[in-house]
Structure 1
Amino acid sequence: MSVGSLDGWGLLGDGIYANPVLPGDYSDPDVIRVGDDYWMITSTFQYSPGMAVLHSRDLISWRHVGAVLPDVSELGPAYRWNRMERYNLGIYAGSLRFHAGRYWVHFTTLDEGIFVTTAEHPAGPWTPLHCLSDEAGWDDPCPLWDNDGRAWLVASSPGHGRWITQLIPMSPDGRSIDLAARTVIDDFHTSEGNKIHRIDGRYYVLHNEVRGDGNRVLVIMRAEALTGPWEKRLLLQGEGPDREREPNQGALVDHPDGSWSLVTHHGRGGYAEGRPISVLPVEWKDGWPVVNPADPGRMLWRAELPVLADRAADHEPGGRGPVEGSLELAPELESAPELALDEDFDGEVLGPEWEWNHAPRPGSWEIADGLVLRASRPLRPGELRAIPSTLTRRMLGTNGSTATVRVGTDRLGDGQSAGLGMLCRDSSSITVCRDGDVLGLATSGEHDATGPTIDVGPVWLRLVIDARGYVTYAFSLDGETYQPVGNTDSVSWSDYRGARIALFSTGPADDVGAARFDGFRYRVEPRHR
């Protein structure tokens, strides 16, 4: 894999960065600092592996390093390749914490319950999932180990009037909770995205709410004791026709110099972005965090790098400093601190940027001089979202982007197709298909189209998505000159996810042949500064 350019997002030079710092579908973030390292988790719904983990040294430039749950089908049979039923469900918002020398992730699924797992290193391996409760409907948990030795979990409750933030007693070892003893700490309907902190002797709960005509906002609560009383203030909201893409759910993070930042996602979906990540400065005034102090509570699209600003004396409460020393990363992860955009599939494992749509069919893929995808019969004809073992990655940017992949055709079986597509509710794709001794190109989507036949592969497949959310397809026999195929299709936000790039191989029966993918290249159009 290699690192590409995200020109115009994130680092701009001269100590300045631009939001969003992660212009892709990185919803429901939680971020912590341990020593000089920042770690992020982000929800993955039905994709596998589940709950992505990213690393940064400056809170601005991020790199995928792994995932918490290697196989999402551990949650239940509905996530398996032969059912693929959990669209708009699966792994929602979680929390990441460092406690007792280990990293802890708590998350819920609406159907399967509340789960916890731990690791010595955020890149894994993580312990097998432990179910704290199989009661359905709970959402967005976060633990607190208090100074008195007691432990707690905040989460949003199911049932009538959900979501309502509640405090649940938890055993100090984190292995059990007492739902019968839960207490309400915020009865505002739609309170979710919970994060709880103890900072300088006070308790703080950060979460988002849906107010008025549906505007999602970020609020902060505080109390001198967990029993209350709790005060609440509005912390961040978007304004304007699109509410500035509605910043809300996120995490408060401190820096070694004593300054603080807020990491937030933007809740209004777009065709490519999904819910991107922004970073905003925070100052403390009279025991309350203030986001973007120059224009309190409003979005900020450019700012100074947080860890370069020496403002510790102006902040209250003071920085807590490193919790423990920084951790070492594997050499291939440490060498490139930015998102990897290109992939040759020449390693021993898939890069952590890639996720399967549901758990893949066993035996349907391998890495052997490229990514080999054996044909999988679709669960429903003509639907990309119903093809098992479809490999995906996030779209990036909003000015458009181009994805290209080389497909080896020498092992394609009769009736087998191999393709590159956009995975969303209104999916579309370009495929190369074998029909006897003939190889043909075709596109599917809003308007299916048949392209030319070719004598022999390999063939390069390409998709180009523009700033308006439309995608076109093309192919090449030499990787240089491309011919268009089919018409323009639209790309949609669906199931609380942004559209994704997809690689797949399908046929009239499982394993009728195999396609080899390599030379994946992804180029993101720069944003005007």
Structure 2
Amino acid sequence: MNREGPVASAPKGMSTATWTPDNGNGTFTNPLFYDEFSDPDLIRVGDWFYLTGTTMHAMPGVPILRSKDLVNWEFVAYAMDKLDLGPAYRLEGGRNIYGQGIWAPSFRYHEGKFYIFSNVNDQMTQMFTATDPKGPWTRMPMKRSLHDLSVLFDDDGKAYVVWGHKSMRLAQLTDDLTDIVPGTERALFADDAGMGEGAHFYKIDGKYYIISANWQGGFRMPAARADHVLGPYEVHQSISSHEDFGMASSRRLGTPKPPFEFWGPDPAAKHSLAMHQGGIVQTPGGEWWGLSMMDFNSVGRLLSLSPITWKDGWPYFGLPGNLTRTPRTWVKPKIATPQPVRVPYQRSDDFSAPRLQPIWQWNHVPVDDKWSLSERPGFLRLHALPATSFYDARNTLTQRAIGPMSAPSVLLDASHLKPGDTAGLGLLNLPYATLGVEKLTDELKVVFYDQRLDQRVRVKMSGTRIWLRADCDFLTERARFSYSFDGITFTPIGNEVELFYQTFTFQGVRYGLFNYNASGAEGGFADFDSIDVHQPHTHGLMRPVPYGRSIRLTSFRATTGLAASEGRLASDAPTRFEIVDRELGRVALRSGTRYVTVDKDGAVTLAAGQPGTAQTFQWIETPTGELVLMSLATNRFLRIDPRTRDIRADSPGPMPDDSDGARFIWSQ
């Protein structure tokens, strides 16, 4: 059974604004989705691009999205409704598959059929096939376990697979694609050659390319190429590296069980995050673009789009003059027909539809007769099953948290809970945190729980209806829970919750609706009336470009900035520059009759005349909201050296610690 179809409109009065990469002016801003979409693989069939990625223990899994411009995506279907391969997949017997399940799928199209191959930990690789991406999809286990595989259908009718880590393996597949042909398996690289994992295998203009991801020495994307499918392969150490958009790493979880231990961030690490695993694709018009993911701390691994520049036969992520680096904001791919702005998911839900919206995924395999949208129309009903905690509660319904900030608010009717039941809203993560209603022998209590501190706070419940809210900030890595009995006045409860990225569940934070019974028996039921997900920042700019206004540009964490004095540019007390609209989200900086001008070597001056390429900057915000200005003359960023106070446009990208001086704060 496949969940598919167009995304329904949000119910009246609920939040509809969500992160949209299309800026509406011919440009886009990364990430494409501000919720987790990891290990991407994409293909083009005709005018459509199709995309899938990792879903691990979430059900349904293997999502399929489609787009005509690589920026505006729509949901098509899930290729897999459930993957039930034993008790661990059902959260039975104290077992689980957190951080396992569907990993790094390979998406392919060949002779009228769509294929998705994905390895499953401790199981065989699974092959999904369909003649229409909407489904139905058929699943067939292969006879081998192939880690992070990529399949290539060659021109001679043979199919090959690459998989593994460092040395990587290559083999020919049998005609039914379920096994490798005996005697064809071989290692491609020495362990120290520089290749990693997460292979993407292509044949382009007669040459064979393998793109991979390597975390050693900082996340990067090595590539290899050969004239023959069997090699020998020449390795290029990086076609993408160090691109973190200026994001700094947060603390990481070091142990998966209490007492929790943490590590980092490392102040000596210049780039502890970076875009890495992903692939490339060519548009009908001949342009090449790349997709890759990046750890965005606790919100998870997010997907970004990069222009590809071919040089010396290698597909570099980035622009000429700044290869291996991706601009956070750039011009959209050129296509024949402009596409409407759209997003793949609607996040707010009043549960009035006859089936769950595509945004929802169960935590592990659900128990189908213990949840319902029809027992009480307009409500999600969750029957309580026995569990020791939120982490092992069955039938927890989740959706990915969305950044940079968001606040899910849930309306719950707790009138049918039984003693031992706890139902509510959780932030599914490690450590996790929940806010719910607990049924004691003869009363209801609001209960907050922070697993990191093993701290509970209980408040007496008034009535049986309650609003539960979690205000999440994925830039500060903090969340605060609150509750309301009237939906208007919210009361904070408990401590501020610290959010983490961790590689045990290998997912970012998820909002979870839950109901479980801690007494060891089945309990009552909880009726969820709605969830409303509010997002204060839904585009690439937290502040609009101040076209036509005069502003001051001050260096981030400094009192000096750009100054025009006696016809020259200096680093001093900031003076005013008029922001001239150069279209496509670009600006020129004018002082009197002169413009900030960049030479091809990155030198910066004030020069008279009309603005052209040398005077034009792409106006970009870092994820945390500071301004960076990318010169179109160098495709590098304007900066004031913190030590020498020299002004140049030579930064490849803003440093997380601002040691290059490329960040600015603008004011009027």
Q: TM-score, normalised by structure 2?
A: 0.69
Q: Does the 8 Å contact 2:65/2:344 carry over to 1?
A: no
Equivalence for 1:485: 493
Question: Of the two structures, which has the highest relative contact order with CA contacts closer than 8 Å and spacing of 6 or more?
Answer: 1
Distance 1:228 1:164 in 2: 13
Equivalence for 1:316: none
Distance 1:455 1:302 in 2: 49
User: Deviation at 1:428?
Assistant: 0.6
Q: Does the 8 Å contact 1:2/1:341 carry over to 2?
A: no
Distance 2:65 2:507 in 1: 18
Equivalence for 1:388: 394
Unaligned runs of 5+ in 2: 1-7, 11-15, 247-268, 543-620, 622-668
For the structure 1 residues 227 and 500, does the alpha-carbon distance in structure 2 shift closer, same or farther, using more than 3 Å as the test? Answer: same
Equivalence for 1:80: 90
**What is the identity, as a one-letter code, of the residue corresponding to 1:375?**
A
Describe the SS at the equivalent of 1:211: coil
User: Deviation at 1:509?
Assistant: 4.3
Q: Does the 8 Å contact 2:345/2:358 carry over to 1?
A: no
The one of 7, 11, 14 equivalent to 2:25 is 14
1:5 maps to 2:17: yes
Equivalence for 1:129: 140
Describe the SS at the equivalent of 2:33: coil
Distance 2:448 2:73 in 1: 34
Superposed, 1:44-443 pairs within 5 Å as 44-73=55-84, 75-83=85-93, 84-133=95-144, 135=145, 138-156=146-164, 162-178=165-181, 180-188=183-191, 191-212=196-217, 215-233=218-236, 234-238=238-242, 241=269, 243=271, 245-266=273-294, 268=295, 270-272=297-299, 274-294=300-320, 295-308=322-335, 337-368=343-374, 369=377, 370-378=379-387, 381=388, 383-398=389-404, 400-443=405-448
For the structure 1 residues 180 and 91, does the alpha-carbon distance in structure 2 shift closer, same or farther, using more than 3 Å as the test? Answer: farther
Q: Does the 8 Å contact 1:28/1:42 carry over to 2?
A: yes
State the Cα deviation string for residues 490-511 of structure 1 (Å, max 9, x = none).
Answer: 1222222211111100113454
For the structure 1 residues 416 and 148, does the alpha-carbon distance in structure 2 shift closer, same or farther, using more than 3 Å as the test? Answer: same
Equivalence for 1:318: none
**What is the identity, as a one-letter code, of the residue corresponding to 2:471?**
V
Q: Does the 8 Å contact 2:124/2:141 carry over to 1?
A: no
Q: Does the 8 Å contact 1:449/1:487 carry over to 2?
A: no
The one of 40, 48, 60 equivalent to 1:37 is 48
User: Deviation at 1:155?
Assistant: 1.0
Distance 1:286 1:470 in 2: 46
Unaligned runs of 5+ in 1: 157-161, 311-333
State the Cα deviation string for residues 306-355 of structure 1 (Å, max 9, x = none).
Answer: 13499xxxxxxxxxxxxxxxxxxxxxxx9964432211222222222211
Structure with greater Cα Rg: 2
Describe the SS at the equivalent of 2:395: coil
Equivalence for 1:461: 468
Describe the SS at the equivalent of 1:32: strand
User: Deviation at 1:269?
Assistant: 5.1
Name the Cα RMSD after superposition. Answer: 2.3
Distance 1:342 1:121 in 2: 29
For the structure 1 residues 519 and 292, does the alpha-carbon distance in structure 2 shift closer, same or farther, using more than 3 Å as the test? Answer: same
Equivalence for 1:331: none
Distance 1:307 1:509 in 2: 59
**What is the identity, as a one-letter code, of the residue corresponding to 2:90?**
R
**What is the identity, as a one-letter code, of the residue corresponding to 1:183?**
R
1:502 maps to 2:512: yes
Distance 2:234 2:500 in 1: 40
Distance 2:166 2:384 in 1: 43
Describe the SS at the equivalent of 1:363: helix
Describe the SS at the equivalent of 1:292: strand
State the Cα deviation string for residues 424-448 of structure 1 (Å, max 9, x = none).
Answer: 1110110112234422211011353
Distance 2:22 2:280 in 1: 20
Distance 1:269 1:305 in 2: 23
**What is the identity, as a one-letter code, of the residue corresponding to 2:177?**
G
Q: Does the 8 Å contact 1:365/1:373 carry over to 2?
A: yes
**What is the identity, as a one-letter code, of the residue corresponding to 1:153?**
V
Distance 2:327 2:411 in 1: 40
Q: Does the 8 Å contact 2:219/2:273 carry over to 1?
A: no
